[in-house]
Amino acid sequence: MHVTTVIIGAGHSGLAMSRRLTERSIDHVVLERGEVANSWRTERWDSLRLLTPTWHVTLPGAEAAAGADPDGFLAVPELVSFLDGYAATIAAPVHTGTTVTRVGATDTGYEVTTDRGTWTCDTVVLASGSSNVPSLPAAAEGVPDDVTSISTATYRSPDDVPEGGVLVVGASASGVQLADELARAGRTVTVAAGEHVRMPRTYRGRDAFWWMENAGVLDERYDEVDDIIRARHTPSPQLIGGPDHADLDLRTLRERRGVRVVGKLGRLRDGKAQFSGGLPNTVRLADLKLNRLLDRFDAWAEQEGPDDLGEPHRPEPTTVDASPRIELDLAREDIRTVLWATGYRPDHSWLALPVLDYKGRLQHDGGVVTGAPGVYVLGSSLLRRRRSTYIGGADQDTADLAAHLAGHLAGRVRAAG
């Protein structure tokens, strides 16, 4: 079977690219190992809501706010329903239950091998996402046999976690949300916090994403960032999409939920967890970056903001113990579960192309894959702009990359002529 473009993945990015290619009359297929929005259906916890407001969830030609509170936050079933409807509306040529096992080069383009046949094509779009496999640190190998070890990909609710205390490793959005949920369920929770991004849910009466949108933060391009690799691995902000639009950070967890906060986990050995002693510096740095961001918001507001903004009250500094614990005996502390909220990594093991660096990371320039002309990637953090990290970023990203893809095809035609 031959087609001009094969899109791998039927999440929001793959569907958005399908819409863009249809607009350009470029024939294509979308190959999906499960169903549309598969990872949202199968790898998310029950209570999860998006941390972006519904008004920010847009794809080419569609907005998710229809019938929903634009200032609210979609639950996972609502997002899945939106993506299902979007796929049907744009008549995306999705082949579900089709697992890609290899992508290799041919003399004229690429060959995509699946468990349901092989496709040849001129171009490939990798839209399988950056959250394929939980990214566990080496310390995960040291969890004792009598302690349950789970990741955010398999956690569903507190009912699935054994009785006893829980050590949550990671303090980005997922880590603080699950620590809060477990603490509210009556569990004794300890959070091991490394680098994190603190952000208020609302500031001066407006949502954080309203500020980032209007102040131009989300439009910063990848080629304007000093250290793009580091920036792409920055943790997601400590936000929660709740109906009360409340803040959620380490300060909230300590003062309102009684959660114990320790430093970054170093290793687990002989039933003992050892942590960095640098927690006070870690939270000071997060607070410093928070206030720099709010300074930027205030500067924009002074020059261009509306007149009805509230007063610029800053969040209180994060407080932690002056001498945080640097070691915990799991058995003595009755910690029966370690929950890894340490993020995800993409799985590119099926790429038989010279496109990975020595650390196995896909090399690309704003989504244009290096070393394989006609191959593109979508759905990763800060792909082309800061907004690329969020669902709504696929609108602009796919417009840019579809134009590049069309130019690549035109160049092939000119060369052949």
Say what the pLDDT of residue 347 is. 85
- Concatenated DSSP letters of 38-99: HHHHHSS-TT-B-SS-GGG-EETTEETTTTS-TTS--BHHHHHHHHHHHHHHTT--EE-S--
Say what the pLDDT of residue 166 is. 98
Residues of the chain under the 70 pLDDT cut: 130-131, 413, 416-417
Say what the pLDDT of residue 320 is. 92
Q: How far apart are CA 399 and CA 291, in angstroms?
A: 34
Say what the pLDDT of residue 88 is. 96
Say what the pLDDT of residue 417 is. 62
Domains of the chain: 2-132+346-416 (3.50.50.60), 143-330 (no CATH)
Give the percent of the chain with pLDDT over 70: 99
7 contact partners, CB below 8 Å, separation of at least 6: 14, 17, 18, 21, 28, 29, 30, 31, 124, 125, 127
Say what the pLDDT of residue 367 is. 97
Say what the pLDDT of residue 313 is. 94
166 with 181: CB under 8 angstroms? no
